[in-house]
Amino acid sequence: MSEYRYKMPDVGEGIVEAEIVEWHVKEGDTVTEDQHVLDVMTDKATVEIPCAVNGTVTKLVGEPGEIIAVGTEIMFIAVDGAVPADEEAPAKEETKAEEAAPAKEEPKPAAPAKPAPAAVAPTVAARPAGERALASPAVRKRALDADIDLGTVPGTGPAGRITHQDMDDFIASGGRLSARAGGGSAVRAPRTGVTEEKIIGLRRRISENMSHAQRTIPDIAYVEEIDVTALEELRAHLNKSKRDDQAKLTFIPFLVMALAKALPETPQANAHFDGENMLLTKYDAVHCGVAAATPNGLMVPVIKHAESLDVFEIAGELKRLGSAAKDGKATKDELSGSTITITSLGAIGGLVTTPILNAPEVSIIGVNKMQTLPRYNADGQVVPRKVLNLSSCFDHRIVDGYDAAMLIQRVKGYLENPATLFM
C-alpha cells in the first residue's frame, strides 16, 4: 500500500489559485480514476476536479471558502502497489459555469423507505442551539422540499457536513421532523437563534465585484418616467397574434430594442472602461446583459448582437438564457461579454432603484414597477395611463450627465411611440 499525494491541478487560462466550493468525498471514501471529487471556483468559472487514481482517501486539505494555489497537495490517497507518476488530471469546466457560478450538485434519489424497528426512534443530531447545519445547496433544497429540519439530521461528512446519504438514512429511519410541523404555541415562541455563515463561491464573487465597483466608479443616476400605455396595447396585440413557436413578449424585449436603436447616438455608453490604463473600448454590437435572480445567486445572461434581432427573437433568447441560468446550465460564453446591462425589479415593485454598474461596463438600466396613474393629456384632461420609471446609472468618468439624459430620452421616445421601433 502506497500514498498518492494529489495536487491542485492547473485549471487553465493562467489561473494560479482557486477557491474550494465543495468536496464530494470524505476521508475513508473509496475513489476511482476520473471520479468527480471536488468543485473549485476561479475568476472565470466553476470547475470540476476529477480524481487521478483508484484508492482510498486518507486526508483532505482545505475547507469550502479557502483559496488554494495550483500545485498544492489537496488529497492524500492510499493506493495498491507503487505510486503512479504525478500527472495532473485535467480539470473539467462545468457547462453550467458562470463568471462566478457555484457548482450545483444534483440531488440523489431518496433511498426506498425501510421500515424502522419498532423500538428504535429516529436519530436526531445533537447540535448546540442556533448552530447552522453544514450542507450543500442541493441538500438544503432537498430538505426544504421534503419538509425536513436539517438541524435534526446527523451529518457524517467533514466537520459534520450533511450528505445525500445522511438524508437517505434519516428518511429511511422515519425521521421527518420539520420545524414547520410542530404547530401550536411554538409558532409564536421567541426566536433566539444566531447564524454565522461563511460567504463563499458566487456570493463572495458578487460581494467582491460590487465592492470594487462602488469603490472605484463615480457614477451618476438618472431616473425618467416612461408612459407605456401604447406599448402595452401593442404588446397585448402581438402576444394574441403570435405563432406557437414564438416566445411571449414582456416589456424587456422592447427595452432591448430601444437601447439597440438609441445607443449609436451615444456610443460611449455601450463600452468598457479600463480605469487603470485609461482605455475606453466602444462597441458597435449591442451585447445586452439581463440580470436574473437564480437559486445560485445573481447571474447576467447575455443577448448577443441584440441590434440584429427582432422583438420575438429577443424574447426567445431571453427565455432560453433565463431558463439555462436558473437551471444552472448556462455556459460561460452565455454569461459573459455584455456591453450594457438591464436589471429589473418590475415584478416585485419599487418606484426607483440605483443599480450598481457591472464593471467594466459604463451603463446599467433599471426597470421599476408599472402602475396605472392619472396623467394630463394634450387637452388638459386627467386620464389613466400606464407608466413606469427607468432608473439608470452611468460611469461619470465616461458618460456626462447630458449624454446620459439624452440616451434615456431617446429610449423614452421609442417606448412611448412603439411604432418607431419597427421603422
The helix or strand, by DSSP H or E, that contains position 60, with its residue range, turns out to be strand 55-60
Residue 378 to residue 380: CA distance in whole angstroms: 6
Cβ-based neighbour number of residue 333 at 10 Å = 10
Cell of 79: 493506493
Cα–Cα–Cα angle for 195, 162, 40, rounded to 5 degrees: 85
The whole-angstrom separation of Cα 329 and Cα 315 is 19
Q: Which DSSP string corresponds to 160-187?
A: GPBPHHHHHHHHHTT----GGG--GGGG
Chain centroid to CA 113: how far? Answer: 34
Q: Which helix H or strand E contains 410, and what residues bound it?
A: helix 401-416
Say how far apart CA 45 and CA 28 lie, in whole Å: 29
- Active-site residue identified among 29, 169, 272, 396: 396
Active site residue 396: yes
Q: What CA–CA distance (Å, rounded) separates 135 from 151? A: 10
Asked about 287 being catalytic, the answer comes back as no
111: closest CA among 36, 35, 173? 173
Please name the residue ranges forming H helices in 173-228.
201-216
d(CA 256, CA 248): 15
How far is it, in rounded angstroms, from Cα 217 to Cα 213?
Answer: 6
Smallest CA-to-CA distance from 411 within 239, 219, 231 is with 231
In the set 34, 169, 227, 400, the catalytic residue is 400
- Longest pairwise C-alpha distance within the chain: 92
Task: For residues 144 and 141, give the distance between their C-alpha atoms in angstroms, rounded to a whole number.
Answer: 5
CA-wise closest residue to 4 among 25, 33, 38, 47: 33
Catalytic residues: 396, 400
